[in-house]
Structure 1
Amino acid sequence: MKNIFNFPPFLNDQELFETIISNQNIKIERIISTGQTTPQDTWYDQEQDEWVILLQGEAILSYENGSQLNLKAGDYLLIQSHQKHRIDYTSNNPPCIWLAIHGNLN
């Protein structure tokens, strides 16, 4: 048994991607962010949909069209495939704990 809120104490200023379940149709992962952001002028353009919930912390997600979402614990959203987006802020105290589900979700 594992706990979604437990993470290694040696994490420091690193970002952790941990696959929980993965097969040909779906991938579920836990992401722990400690202040990381998407590099400037870079956009995620994913082949699959991504449903994500922020379980802890705060974050800012931006879309290529200029809109932004200020996320706090409990907020979730669906990012459709090829919807260009980036992360412009993640808190490090507390760290962001994300649960992401990737797949054909529409």
Structure 2
Amino acid sequence: MTATENIFGDLPVAAADEAVAALLSRPGLRIERIVSTGQASPPGFWYDQDWDEWVMVLSGAALLRIESEPEVRRLAAGDYLLIPAQCRHRVEWTDPAAATIWLAIHVAPDHCDG
């Protein structure tokens, strides 16, 4: 049995890069805590992943751009969405005044026929 931990515990201090911590990793599944302190995707960079990603903002705020959508999405505490595999997206902004804590669940796409 593993120890009980808290997703808000042992938070990193503000840094140049986001802090990504793997909480659970299994074949076809990865759960991460991401702490953003004002970071955004580099200019011209798009995530284009081979897996589905479900994300939830637990605290803070962010602006997420989905390439196929005309407007950015504002995410606040409690907001979540599923980003399907190959859906190009980027983080436009995260709150520099307070940590934005994300829960990200990466899941291999289901390739079963039937």
- With the length of structure 2 as denominator, give the TM-score of the two structures: 0.85
Alpha-carbon offset, residue 105 of structure 1: 5.6
Distance 1:8 1:54 in 2: 15
Distance 1:67 1:47 in 2: 24
Structure whose CA Rg is larger: 2
CA RMSD of aligned residues (A): 1.5
Task: Tell me which moved more, 79-88 or 92-101.
Answer: 92-101
Distance 1:32 1:61 in 2: 15
Deviations along 1:8-30, one digit per CA (max 9) or x if unpaired, are 45x22241100000011200000
Residue correspondences, number: 105
Q: Which amino acid aligns with 1:94?
A: A
Q: Is the counterpart of residue 83 in structure 1 residue 101 in structure 2?
A: no
Query: In the superposition, relative to structure 1, how do residues 5 and 105 fare at CA in structure 2: closer, same or farther (>3 Å)?
Result: farther
Q: Is the counterpart of residue 7 in structure 1 residue 35 in structure 2?
A: no
- Of all paired residues, the percent bearing the same amino acid is 43
- With the length of structure 1 as denominator, give the TM-score of the two structures: 0.91
Q: Give the ranges of 4+ consecutive aligned residues of structure 1 lying more than 3 Å apart after TM superposition.
A: none
